[in-house]
Amino acid sequence: MLKRAFALWTIALLLFFGSGLEARAQTPGSSALNPAMNGITSYAPVKVEGRKLFEVMGNSGLSAAERADKINRRLGNLIARNDPVRPFNRQDIVTQGTTTTVTLGGEPVMTVTDADAQDTLSTREEVALLWGAKMATAIADARATRSNPLTGAGILIRNSFTDLIRSALQWLPRLAGAIVLVLVFWMLAKVNRWVVKWVVSRTNFDSNLRQLLRALAFYGTWLVGLLAILSTLGLESGSIATTLGISGFVLGFAFKDILSHFFAGLMLLLGRQFHIGDQIVVKDNEGTVERIELRALYLRTYDNRLVIIPNGDVFTSTVTSNTASPHRRREFVVGIGYDDDIKQAQEVALQTVRGIEGVAQEPPPDVLVDELAASTVNLKIRFYTNSQRADYLRAGSECMRAVKEAFDRAKISMPTDIQTVVIQNLAAVANRLGAGEGDGNKAGATGKSSGERETVA
């Protein structure tokens, strides 16, 4: 159960983190969609046929979006022309004062400022050469695509693979670092689990609690490792915290019942109200605890059926533990006749019970007068025995058998219920019964005669 919950949570984290990384990668370009954010420090993409070449920032006269739109329109005009564009080289950039102009086919397309150079940690000439080469190649590809669809398809495939390889090369250092961290935390998780296993083996914790502590050490280490790996891949700590909060809320809402059973199981294992092998009663179920997992309690009934009870129900219900103490009291009632000696019967029963194997001497057994019933004097025989159900039933059976045999030897009667019927005015009742019997005989004779007469007729 813990493994499945951890796997679900990891998948949710990766989905949220993946969307966060994508949003982070698109942040500079997406600022152009919000006019309120357009300014000198915002960015907008320069595109040819939908393919982004690079991003430009705003300058003192234009916002980033306006500057990018102006460059895109000029590139579109160059693509629509039929005259060829010669390969781009250093002669196509013109530097004047604090700006460097990029030309294609003799037409000025854009200017590179000192702010652009500072933003890319390069010089204006290097930025102009890089951007100019990208624009010249994109124009040539766009013209080839428009003139020949097959050639255009090949160019699109080539550009896609080029972009993929470029992105992979950019991610290689981060990916290598993430792989190293995976190996490091895999070893740390194994070491931590072994250390916890060694520590708990020297305690009196039950096996389920030991397994829980080992699992928490293993997956807790992996959780820290997952955060470190995602940070290495480029996710900011703020995004990690946000994602943890969102994923925790979503998973908590979706799996609230499972999580309630999970935390209830955790409380049962840590609270240690009962252990494996204890005999308990939960609602209408009674049996021996076989296993305590984070989701459910496994209870083996006395007729060898397995009952699986969710931990949430166990935690919120009244639980009776029959084996919480080493001894459990057993009692039964036996009736003797009113003519028998009560003290003698008590002494015989007490000595008999004391001699039965399995009856505890401390606390000592006792025999009390429980009730003066209609036909018997009821004696309640009480004694303590092992709290396990098998010993509890066996000792009770032996005591009842032995007491009955001891009473038979001591000539102590154990009468059944006697009912006494008192008839008042017995003579009057007898006369009425006799008169009724005579009337019945006469009526019978009359009936017979009538019958005979009817038969003859």
Domain spans of the chain, in order of start: 2-20+174-261, 34-147, 262-321, 327-409
CA distance linking residue 300 with residue 263, whole number of Å: 23
Pick among 3.30.530.20, 3.40.50.1980, 2.130.10.30, 3.30.70.100: CATH of 327-409:
3.30.70.100
Residue type, position 54, single letter: F
- Residue 401 near residue 355 (C-beta atoms within 8 A): no
- Label residue 339 exposed, middle or buried (CB < 10 Å: 0-12, 13-18, 19+): exposed
Q: What is the pLDDT along the chain (457 residues), one digit of tens a residue?
A: 444 544 545 555 444 444 444 444 444 433 333 443 434 458 888 888 777 888 888 877 788 888 888 888 888 888 777 666 677 888 888 888 778 888 887 788 888 888 888 888 888 888 888 888 888 888 877 777 766 666 556 656 766 667 677 677 777 787 888 888 889 989 998 888 888 888 877 777 766 677 777 777 887 888 888 878 877 777 665 666 666 666 665 555 555 556 666 666 667 766 667 778 888 888 888 898 888 777 788 889 888 899 888 877 787 778 888 888 888 899 999 999 988 899 999 999 999 999 888 888 888 999 999 989 888 899 999 999 988 888 889 999 999 999 999 999 989 888 887 666 777 777 776 777 776 655 555 445 444 444 443 333 3
CB burial readout 151-182, b (16+ within 10 A) else e:
ebeebeeeeeeeeeeeeeeeeeeeeeebeebb
Q: Under DSSP, is residue 49 helix (H, G, I), strand (E, B) or coil?
A: coil
CA count, 13 A, side-chain hemisphere, 274: 27
Tell me which residue of 262, 387, 388, 277 sits closest to 314, measured CA to CA. 262
pLDDT of residue 347: 92
pLDDT of residue 36: 38
pLDDT of residue 17: 46
End-to-end Cα separation, the chain, in angstroms? 96
CATH of the domain spanning 262-321: 2.30.30.60
CATH class held by domain 2-20+174-261: mainly alpha
CA distance linking residue 324 with residue 346, whole number of Å: 31
